[in-house]
Amino acid sequence: MNRAAATGSIALTLVSAFTLTACGGSGGAGAAADAKQTLTVWAMGTEGEKLGDVAKEYEKTHSHITIEVTPVGWDVAHQKLVAAAAARKLPDVMQMGGTYLSEFADMGALEPVDTKTFHEGDFFPAAWQQGSYDGKTYGVPWYVDTRVLFYRTDLAEKAGLKGAPATMADLQKAAEAYQTKAGTKWGLYIQSRGLDTVQSFYPFLYSAGGAVLDDDGKPVVNSAEAVHALENYGSYPDKGLSSKSVPPGYDPLKDFNTGAVPMFFGGPWIMGLLDENYPDLKGKWAVAAVPADKASVSVAGGSSLAVSADSDHKAAAQEFIQYLTDAKGQADWFDRTKDLPANTAAWTSGDLASDPNLKVWRSQMETAKSTPSHPKLTEITSKVDTAIESVTQGKSTAKAALDKAQSEVDGLVR
C-alpha cells in the first residue's frame, strides 16, 4: 500500500480542488435501495480477486442489483483513487486501506457512515478508529490484521527457552539465547532501514506507551516513551542480534525456514504462507503476543469499506456493505480468504473460536492501536523512518534522531 512518488504531488494539489468540488458530495438521496441499479465496487489485491464471487452470491438474493467489481493492484491503488476522485468518478463502494482513508475523507470524497446502521461496538476498537477521521466515521471495518511474534519452537528448545518471551526484556534475552545456544545467525528480524520501517517499529513504540501523534493530532515522536522504544529497537542491530541491512525484496520466511532468523513480527497471512511453502516446518513454529513493555500493544491494519460522497446509489451501497460486514458475512469472508474478521461476533464459532493460533490474533486485536489519522500520514511517517534508520545505522542517538523528526513533523501538521 505504498504510494508512488508521483501521486504525492498530485494529492497535494487536489486538496484545494476538493475544497471547491467535493465537499458534501452530491447531497441527493439517489436511487432507493430496492430500485433496479448497478453498483460499482473497487477492491484491492487478493480481496479484489475474491470479492466478485461474493457479489454473485449477493445478486442471487438481490435480483434488482448488479455488482461490478473491479480488482485493483495495491501498487496502483492510490494513484487510481486520486485520479478518480479528481474527476469525481470514484466507484460507489471502495476498499480503503488504513493509510488512505483520512486523505480522502479530508478531501470530502467519502460519505460519512450511518452510525445508526453500523455500530462501533460490533467491531474491534482499532478497526473502527481506522475508519474515522476528524470526529466522523467514513469507513466500515471489513477485515483486520495486526502483528504478533512468530518464533521457532524447536530452536527455542535448543536455546533452553520455555515458551515465548513475555516481555521486551525477555525478547532480547531470547534473541541472545538463540544465537549463543541454538547457533542461529540472528536473534530477531526487524526492518532496520528503508520505506515504511515505522511499520516494524510500531509494536515497540505502542507497547512502550509512545505514539507518533497524540489524540489531538499533535506530534509526540520525541516523547520519553518513544525514545525508550527506539533505544530498545536500535539495540538489536547494535548488538548484532539483527541485521543492519537486508537486500531489496528480502523475505524473512526463507531465513525462518533455515533457522538463520528464529523470530520476527508478522501478519496473519504469514501462517498460510508457512503452511504452503514450508510444510516441513509444521509443528516447529508458533505465534505469540507482542512482548509487553508497559503493555502488549501491536499495530492494527486491515481495510474499511467506504462509499463515495458523489454516489447515486448510497442506500444500495450501504446494504451491500452490511452484507459484507455482519457476523455471517465476515465468517464467510474468512473462509474464502483467511482475512481476520473486524466484526467480533464472527469469532464465536468454527476455527475462529477454537484455533489456538487464531486466539492469539484476537487477543492482540483487542489492544491493537491504529496508525495516526492524518491526511499527511505518509509524509509524517517518512520522517520517523529516517529517524529509525539513523539509529539502527549507528549515526545518531534515539533522542537526537527523534528530536529532529519531531521538528519536521511539527512543520507538517501545523
User: Would you kindly state where each structural domain of the chain is located, as residue ranges?
Assistant: 5-145+302-365, 148-298+376-413
Looking at residues 154-174, what average pLDDT do you find?
A: 97
- Residue 176: pLDDT band (50, 70, 90) is very high
Beta strands 285-288; 148-152: pairing state: antiparallel
CATH architecture of 5-145+302-365: 3-Layer(aba) Sandwich (3.40)
- Does 402 have pLDDT greater than 90? yes
Confidence (pLDDT) at 10: 30
148-298+376-413, what's its fold? D-Maltodextrin-Binding Protein; domain 2 (3.40.190)
In the predicted structure, residue 17 carries a pLDDT above the cut 60: no
Give residues with Cβ within 8 angstroms of 391, minimum separation 6. Answer: 230, 231, 233, 234, 397, 398, 401
- pTM for the full predicted model: 0.87
pLDDT, mean of residues 155-184: 98
Q: Using pLDDT thresholds of 50, 70 and 90, give the confidence band for residue 8.
A: very low
- Residue 188's nearest CA partner among 137, 230, 122, 234 is 234
Q: Do 190 and 391 form a contact (C-beta atoms < 8 A)? A: no
- Residues in the chain, overall count: 414
* H helix runs in 289-397, sequence order: 314-325, 327-337, 351-354, 356-367, 377-392
Strand order in the sheet with 300-307: 65-72, 37-44, 93-97, 300-307, 140-146, 340-341
Closest CA to 188 of 203, 207, 210, 209: 203
Residue-averaged pLDDT of the chain? 92
Evaluate whether 5-145+302-365 and 148-298+376-413 have a shared fold: yes
- pLDDT tens across 359-397, in order? 999 999 999 999 988 889 989 999 999 999 999 999 999
Q: Read off the pLDDT band of 97 (50, 70, 90).
A: confident
Higher pLDDT, 255 or 378: 255
Pairing of strands 93-97, 37-44: parallel
Beta-bridge partner residues of 341: 143
Closest by CA to 46, choosing from 404, 337, 326, 359, is: 337
Residue 273 · residue 252 · CB < 8 Å: no
* β-bridge partners, 301: 145
Higher-pLDDT residue of 331, 372: 331
Going from the C-alpha of 286 to that of each of 108, 181, 272, 293, the distances in angstroms are: 44, 20, 13, 21
